[in-house]
Structure 1
């Protein structure tokens, strides 16, 4: 999934990579065979996200009180593309709650140890060795 994002690969190309990798795996090994299956698997692991419509000029997110708004209250830009039968947002933001991401980082013993490094292993002797040692 990381390679798909870094190389800006299409879904079709990613599916072909998965097919190629699956052919090289021994019989009985399982690996998702499509981008759709990978997304579903990641969502089940807790790596899902919520999509929120946003102003094209980054003024506001259309949530809470603005959820029903048709234009930005600050810059008056329309929220949706014109000429479409169905409302399609001009810009969308993907939001992944911080608590879900932190819980995932603490699920394995090694990662949890690394996440607590700043508290457990940092030397506190008034010498600047790491940005967390600074007063700011």
Structure 2
């Protein structure tokens, strides 16, 4: 895994986006912020990211809908082994919810409020699998 990652932060709350960006900076990573899943998909079309950190619950387009569209687009592409790593952020950490996130194509997840060590561990786990 390279040391500094460029991570797309997707959350409808400006405060949470800023907190996540600061947390990522403490971990040595760079963050680019957008407000919802629709903006995330547009941003992913325009540039490459090492990782996406996306909230599940957002207006306009939620994280699960955006993830589903992203995975469909990846399947339709002619490129082999193209898979954008995505960590979902959720206030729900019930086993049934977490299973739903993994089934939807998430590579990992963290619960709110996001803990620095938990986020660091999840990023390391997801990126180690690349």
TM-score normalized by the length of structure 1 = 0.26
TM-score normalized by the length of structure 2 = 0.27
Greater relative contact order (Cα 8 A, min sep 6): structure 1 or 2?
2
Q: Write 1 or 2 for the structure with the bigger share of helix.
A: 2
Based on CA coordinates, which of the two structures has the bigger radius of gyration? Answer: 1
